[in-house]
Amino acid sequence: MAAFDLVVRGGTLFDGTGAAPVVADVGVRDGRIVAVGQGLAIGREEIDATGLMVTPGWVDIHTHYDGQITWDSRMTPSSTLGATTVVAGNCGVGFAPVRKGDEDTLIRLMEGVEDIPGAALHEGLSWEWESFDEYMTAVERLPHDIDVAVQLPHGALRVYVMGERGANREPATPDETARMRELTRDAIKAGALGFSTTRTMVHRTADGDLTPTVGAARAEMEAIAQGLADAGSGVLQWVSDFQDMDGEFQLIQDLTRIAGQPLSFSMVQADVIPDQWRELTRRLDVAVEEGFPLKAQIAGRPVGLMLGLQGSAHPFISRPSFQEIADKPLAEKVAAMRDPAFRARLIAEAPAKGHPFINSLAGAYHKMYAIDGDAVDYEPDPATSLGARAKALGVHPDELIYDALIADEGRAFLFFPMHNYVEGSLDNVRAMIANPNTLSGLSDGGAHVGAICDVSLPTFMLTYWCRDRTRGPGFGLAETIRAQTKDTAEAVGLNDRGIIAPGYLADLNVIDFERLRLKAPYMVYDLPTGARRLMQDAEGYVATIKSGAVIYREGQPTGALPGKLVRGRQPAPQAMAAE
């Protein structure tokens, strides 16, 4: 009789703590690790990991699978890229609680903020819930490949309590703030992992309106923090422009004190405020020294737009001639664009007004890069931008952009590093990563499906920062693996995962590190109604294991669906003696 359900044998073990790797076996029984050592007894199933790397599964704390987890059992592309736990409900947007009649408001909010097609949400969401607890119960009814956890979104909470007044950003009354406190307490007690909000002017509904939570008063935020205190658990997730740096930073410190719980905020380097991240980092470090439980979530590479004819954005969308073909199938668009007369007319046109975002990026030729081959260079040399290439050739950049967009029958994309690339290198990102008060995050899995595919960040961290970077220093494997396993798990209170040791969940990746590489993103049409979303594949994931079950082999699903909804904070396992 086999001593274990599964043994991963002879791998080079990075246990998630940051310790140096060791060659060891991992024995699994009943979904948990029960033994780590050499020469373990036989398992009912075995994986020969000789010469391979064994890590905990990635714990991705910043995703937007709020809709997908209600209709799809597979959390792709996160689960095919090594994630074994994802946290949804970020940025204050989501689908519960909800009153009948407000469904479209929440869809328009999610569609605008996170670029998830509204038609797909209308088709896919069953709306068989009202309360946040009922939403979680609906999620639990569907088996999943990996674990999912959810947070209470401020936008949905505000609309539920205040109706149209909440959507229109009117001030909450004392009774309404008291009701938000009660509902926050109830959601956390029912199993919400935390509470999220957005206060940035960038986040807007599909109609272009500011989100309901922008400018929410201190009294409202304090009441919600008191709801977390009442529940005695939870985390706070925060997005802000920090335009009022003094007031906003003081507020997040005060909220952690009121709630008695940690808070993390998003931090990127934006072109328009290139030094704000330095001031945020300075204040963060001081606050942590003073005892405030704060972290900054960062992305380990540029927040990158994929510009293409299949996607949500490209430089010619606002040209009048392109609008004539905008709704045509891709093949017809490409055929029209190959006509020399159409090409000349479109390139000669000025962009139409009323498209501020598109028109701002359309002229940023120094930040547009063709994707050569089947992989993306996420730290491209500015001398290779389409703007620089056009200057060297003595042509207008639009000529090169036009050709790049119709390549591969219109399926090609341009890479546009929107944030974290002001100086044309990742040196500043490296400084963010190296700060002990930052967290690996901002993958936005499940969101921005027509423009961004940063869900591959954990894989990129290993391949680029730990192996391939030549433009400056990188990082070690042990510390990088810890940053996206133990550190992220502990930051949101999931203390039962992220470490390979007896008692912890058997969430593992078996990786051929020499072979590990990311492929270029591509578009698929598999959301409800056949709506689009960007996908990305990788080579080198030999096996991904969730709770002891192999869920993917070489990126292909096995059919196992052991994932569950995680309700609330999870305690660390009691120490177990290795068998």
Between CA 460 and CA 444 the distance in angstroms is 15
**pLDDT tens digits along 537-565:** 999 999 999 999 999 999 999 999 999 99
Examine the pLDDT at 197 and tell me if it is beyond 60: yes
CATH 2.30.40.10 fits 4-56+504-519+537-557, yes or no: yes
519 secondary structure, DSSP code: P
Examine the pLDDT at 579 and tell me if it is beyond 60: no
Angle between helices 154-162 and 103-114 (to 10 degrees): 150
Which residues make Cβ contacts (< 8 Å) with residue 395, sequence separation at least 6? none
What's the average model confidence in pLDDT over 480-486? 98
Between CA 102 and CA 468 the distance in angstroms is 48
Examine the pLDDT at 1 and tell me if it is beyond 90: no
pLDDT of residue 317: 95
What's the average model confidence in pLDDT over 363-372? 95
pLDDT of residue 574: 85
Angle, CA of 419, 425 and 427, to the nearest 5°: 95
pLDDT of residue 575: 64
Between CA 535 and CA 311 the distance in angstroms is 12
What's the average model confidence in pLDDT over 272-280? 97
Domains 4-56+504-519+537-557 and 59-301+422-491 share a fold: no
Which candidate, 401, 321, 404, places its Cα nearest to that of 365? 401
pLDDT of residue 264: 98
The structure tokens listed for 350 are 């000025």
Phi, psi of 346 (to 5 degrees): -65, -45
Query: Can you name the residues that pair with 195 across neighbouring β-strands?
Result: 152, 236
Cβ 237 vs Cβ 228: under 8 Å? no
CATH level 2 (architecture), domain 59-301+422-491: Alpha-Beta Barrel (3.20)
pLDDT of residue 359: 86
Between CA 265 and CA 91 the distance in angstroms is 10
The bridge status of strand 22-29 relative to strand 4-13 is antiparallel
Percent of the chain with pLDDT over 70: 99
Confidence of residue 82 (pLDDT cuts 50, 70, 90): very high
What's the average model confidence in pLDDT over 255-281? 98
Q: Where are the domains of the chain?
A: 4-56+504-519+537-557, 59-301+422-491, 307-416
pLDDT of residue 353: 86
Taken in order 549, 552, 554, 556, is the CA torsion positive or negative? positive
Which residues make Cβ contacts (< 8 Å) with residue 513, sequence separation at least 6? 52, 53, 462, 467, 477, 540
Neighbours of 137 (CB within 10 A): 15
Counting Cα atoms < 13 Å in the Cβ hemisphere of 297 gives: 26
Between CA 195 and CA 467 the distance in angstroms is 36
**pLDDT tens digits along 25-36:** 999 999 999 999
pLDDT of residue 45: 98
- Please give the torsion angle defined by the CA atoms of residues 429, 432, 438 and 439, in that order, rounded to the nearest 10 degrees: 20
**pLDDT tens digits along 141-155:** 999 999 999 999 999
Cis amide prior to 473 (ω within 30 degrees): no
Phi, psi of 157 (to 5 degrees): -60, -45
What's the average model confidence in pLDDT over 441-461? 97
**pLDDT tens digits along 37-80:** 999 999 999 999 999 999 999 999 999 999 999 999 999 999 99
pLDDT of residue 356: 85
Examine the pLDDT at 360 and tell me if it is beyond 90: no
Encoded amino acid at 367, one letter = K
Counting Cα atoms < 13 Å in the Cβ hemisphere of 372 gives: 6
Between CA 539 and CA 397 the distance in angstroms is 34
Neighbours of 389 (CB within 10 A): 17
Between CA 166 and CA 196 the distance in angstroms is 16
pLDDT of residue 576: 56
- Token pair 């949101």 is found at 492
Examine the pLDDT at 235 and tell me if it is beyond 80: yes
Examine the pLDDT at 193 and tell me if it is beyond 90: yes
Which residues make Cβ contacts (< 8 Å) with residue 407, sequence separation at least 6? none
List the strands of the sheet with 147-149, edge to edge.
58-60, 83-87, 147-149
